[in-house]
Amino acid sequence: MNQAKKHCYLYTRVSTQMQVDGYSLDAQQDRLKKEAAHRSLQVVAVFSDEGKSGKNTTGRPQFQAMMQRIQNDNEDHVDYVLVFKLSRFGRNAADVLNNLQIMQDFGVNLICVEDGIDSASAAGKILFPVLAGVAELERENIQAQTMAGRWQKAREGKWNGGQAPYGYRIEDGVLVIEDSEAALVRLIFEKYVQSDMGINGVAKWLNENGYSKQTRQNGIYSRISTTFVRGVLDNPVYAGKIAYGRRKNEKIEGTRNEYHIVKQAEYETFDGKHEAIISDDLWQAAQVKRELNAYKREKRYSPEHAHILSGLVKCPVCGAPMYGAVNRKKKKDGSGEFYSDMWYYICKNTKTVSGQRCTYTKHIRQDDVNEQVRRVVQEALRNMDFTQDIMKSIGTDANLDALQAEADTLAATKKKEERQKSKLLSKIMELDADDDLYDEMYDDLQGLLRQRMKRIAELDSKINQVSIAIQNAGSKAATAEEVYATMRIIVDMMDIMPERDEQEIMHALLDSVQIYPERQPNGLWIKSVRFKVPLEFDGVSSQDVIIDNDSNSLPNASNDETVILLSNLYPKQNIEA
């Protein structure tokens, strides 16, 4: 009697620290192939992640590809995944158990060769959670040992790896001054300490006087940004020190296995073995000034003012966001009083914050642009189709009767599929193992069984979705009515509401505002407004509203001659307001 071989995947993984002592990819793969042959398993595919951490599975492309193939109808009819040790599968207990459960949902089990456990066995079901916890503990120990090694290396004054800071190169693991770059580092410290300029001022002075930084690796900007200047001034390496703990990988609150890099206010420094670019006195003077300038300045100008369209208005030259700026002048009559604040929008890149420079230096008065955009928004909110689109987007078309009918149909279909599944299982159990056609009949029935299981899983997912929709349908309908009433209030109150409230509304409704480079003869600044929700006029839908530059006025409820044109995605057509 010849039984059909069961299928399996092999999965191997190494991190940068674990490429020796039998953990290499080749060594793992060789061991797994021997185990598959011993168990009479047919290897369908091999997945390998090199230099990938076991902390989580999201950063392992081959692991993700393997799981995707398992969930994609289990097209290879795989019964097992073989790994060298459970720690190769993962070192996070929650991740390990979650992925194992997904595999088992599709009829796939896990064999850990070195650990000698099989998730399909009774003992394996008990041991897996325990070993997953042990693997996570091992990861934490490895991480602690690695950090201890880094701390010891810093304590000895050695560079801890990675790209050399600007002004240095690495030779035999040691930082060596790169003269072509170090001159700029010294100049940054000297200009910052010996003048009244701040970080922005130093960056601007350097760019205006023809200085630039050498680009490295994938860098494309040679202009000196404020971020670059700040990074130089805050790095103790230039004073001959090695820092440890400047940044820390911290868990994101509210997540199970997500982390981010957080800059630390306090960290340790040690005397480095490398040569300093600046003197300790210059370093200390720079840090004193940094501390003096670090406090959060109290807002001096009109505290109730808000830059309503800041970030929404786009530069007509470079496309970058335009932000708010103020012009405040003191009266010349000796009274010490100031003229009324004048508020403008200016291109982000005119300040060279990013190291780029934009030629569009015009200051555009906020009240002009705000008023024009406000009228467009009011016109849109008065349009019934737009309000219906907003209500539709939150699900007001939900029909409880239709949803319930769909739920009943799905439940009946699932019950039918379950009956067919039971019949197939009975047929498989009744097969005669001595029959010459046993293998062919077994494979055929297994294929049909997998199709039924896939169909049942799909039905479970749809049933769950419909159940949630039924629960939410009633509350969404009520919410839609509230939205409609709110829109009417916004239209009526927008001209008199506080600027901060209007700012929130604009940022909730709008995606962007395009403007002309120059004010048009009719006073028009805005070229088009993009909404986050599509508008619909006479059956034509678009997120963009173009203001007709040939019209004598902007959108206004009291003007019958107002025209709004749709975006270039659709034929331009006139719509009477």
How large is the average pLDDT for residues 298-309?
A: 69
Alpha-carbon torsion angle 221, 223, 224, 228, nearest 10: 0
Q: What is the pLDDT of residue 3?
A: 66
Residue 490's pLDDT band (cuts 50, 70, 90): confident
More confident residue, 2 or 91: 91
Based on the number of CB atoms within 10 Å of its own CB, is 262 exposed (0-12), middle (13-18) or buried (19 or more)?
exposed
Q: What is the pLDDT of residue 537?
A: 57
Nearest to 357 by CA among 207, 220, 518, 517: 207
Alpha-carbon torsion angle 10, 14, 18, 19, nearest 10: 90
Residue with tokens 């780029």: 356
Q: Are 92 and 63 in contact (CB under 8 A)?
A: no
Q: Are 310 and 322 in contact (CB under 8 A)?
A: yes
How large is the average pLDDT for residues 442-454?
A: 76
Q: Could you give the CA distance from residue 428 to residue 386 in angstroms, rounded to a whole number?
A: 59
Q: Are 165 and 156 in contact (CB under 8 A)?
A: no
Q: Among 54-63, 122-131, 361-370, which range has the highest average pLDDT?
A: 361-370
- pLDDT tens digit sequence for 269-288: 778 888 889 998 898 888 88
DSSP 119-155: TTSHHHHHHHHHHHHHHHHHHHHHHHHHHHHHHHHHH
Name residue 488's amino acid: R
**Domain 6-152 in this protein, CATH class:** alpha beta
Nearest to 326 by CA among 298, 301, 358: 301
pTM of the model: 0.38
Q: Could you give the CA distance from residue 218 to residue 180 in angstroms, rounded to a whole number?
A: 19
Q: Is the pLDDT of residue 479 over 50?
A: yes
Q: Is the pLDDT of residue 197 over 70?
A: yes
Nearest to 357 by CA among 224, 216, 512, 209: 224
More confident residue, 90 or 219: 90
Q: Are 96 and 110 in contact (CB under 8 A)?
A: no
- pLDDT tens digit sequence for 374-428: 888 887 777 655 555 555 555 544 456 677 788 888 888 888 888 888 887 777 7
Lowest model confidence (mean pLDDT) among 150-164, 456-470, 501-515? 150-164
- Can you tell me whether residue 565 is helix, strand or coil? strand
Residue with tokens 């049933």: 463
Q: What is the pLDDT of residue 101?
A: 81
- Going from N- to C-terminal start, the domains of the chain cover 6-152, 168-293, 323-365
Q: Among 87-91, 301-305, 552-556, which range has the highest average pLDDT?
A: 87-91
Q: Is the dihedral of CA 267, 273, 278, 279 positive or negative?
A: positive
Lowest model confidence (mean pLDDT) among 384-388, 410-414, 552-556, 558-562? 558-562
Q: What is the pLDDT of residue 365?
A: 92
Q: Could you give the CA distance from residue 229 to residue 203 in angstroms, rounded to a whole number?
A: 7
Running DSSP on this structure, what letter comes out for residue 5? P
Q: Could you give the CA distance from residue 69 to residue 79 in angstroms, rounded to a whole number?
A: 13
Nearest to 103 by CA among 84, 128, 123, 126: 128
DSSP H or E run through 27: helix 25-38
Nearest to 340 by CA among 311, 367, 309, 374: 367
Does the domain at 168-293 match CATH 3.20.20.70? Answer given as no
Q: Are 207 and 223 in contact (CB under 8 A)?
A: yes
How large is the average pLDDT for residues 538-561?
A: 54
How large is the average pLDDT for residues 134-153?
A: 57
Cα separations in angstroms, 20 against 30, 85, 234: 15, 15, 39
- pLDDT tens digit sequence for 61-70: 899 889 988 8
Q: Could you give the CA distance from residue 526 to residue 554 in angstroms, rounded to a whole number?
A: 10
Cα separations in angstroms, 517 against 57, 197, 361, 370: 49, 32, 10, 16
Q: What is the pLDDT of residue 20?
A: 42
Lowest model confidence (mean pLDDT) among 118-127, 348-357, 392-401? 392-401
Running DSSP on this structure, what letter comes out for residue 204? H
Q: Which residue(s) pair with 462 in the sheet?
A: none
Q: What is the pLDDT of residue 566?
A: 35
How large is the average pLDDT for residues 144-148?
A: 54
Beta strands in 205-328 (DSSP E): 241-244, 247-251, 259-263, 268-271, 313-314, 322-327
**Considering the chain, what is the average pLDDT of its residues?**
75
Q: Could you give the CA distance from residue 408 to residue 45 in angstroms, rounded to a whole number?
A: 41
More confident residue, 441 or 36: 36
Q: What is the pLDDT of residue 309?
A: 93
Q: What is the pLDDT of residue 570?
A: 31
- pLDDT tens digit sequence for 232-246: 998 888 988 887 766
Q: Which residue(s) pair with 263 in the sheet?
A: 247
- pLDDT tens digit sequence for 309-345: 998 999 999 888 988 888 877 767 766 677 778 889 9
Share in percent of the chain as helix, strand, coil (round to 5): 45, 20, 35
Q: In percent, how much of the chain has pLDDT > 70? A: 66
Residue 573's pLDDT band (cuts 50, 70, 90): very low
Say how many residues make up the chain.
Answer: 577
Q: Is the pLDDT of residue 220 over 80?
A: no
Lowest model confidence (mean pLDDT) among 245-254, 352-361, 487-496, 512-521? 245-254
Q: Is the pLDDT of residue 518 over 90?
A: yes
Q: What is the pLDDT of residue 199?
A: 87
- Can you tell me whether residue 181 is helix, strand or coil? helix
Lowest model confidence (mean pLDDT) among 16-20, 23-27, 219-223, 350-354? 16-20
Q: What is the pLDDT of residue 561?
A: 33
How large is the average pLDDT for residues 41-45?
A: 92
Q: Could you give the CA distance from residue 352 to residue 203 in angstroms, rounded to a whole number?
A: 8
Within 13 Å, how many C-alpha atoms sit on residue 261's CB side?
A: 4
Q: What is the pLDDT of residue 50?
A: 82
Q: Is the pLDDT of residue 250 over 60?
A: no
Q: What is the pLDDT of residue 533?
A: 73
Q: Which residue(s) pair with 251 in the sheet?
A: 259
DSSP H or E run through 418: helix 400-430
Q: Is the pLDDT of residue 560 over 50?
A: no
Residue 189's pLDDT band (cuts 50, 70, 90): very high
Running DSSP on this structure, what letter comes out for residue 35? H
> Which residues, including other chains, have CB under 8 Å from residue 431's CB and lie 6 or more apart?
438, 441, 442, 445
DSSP H or E run through 441: helix 438-493
Alpha-carbon torsion angle 483, 488, 494, 498, nearest 10: -50
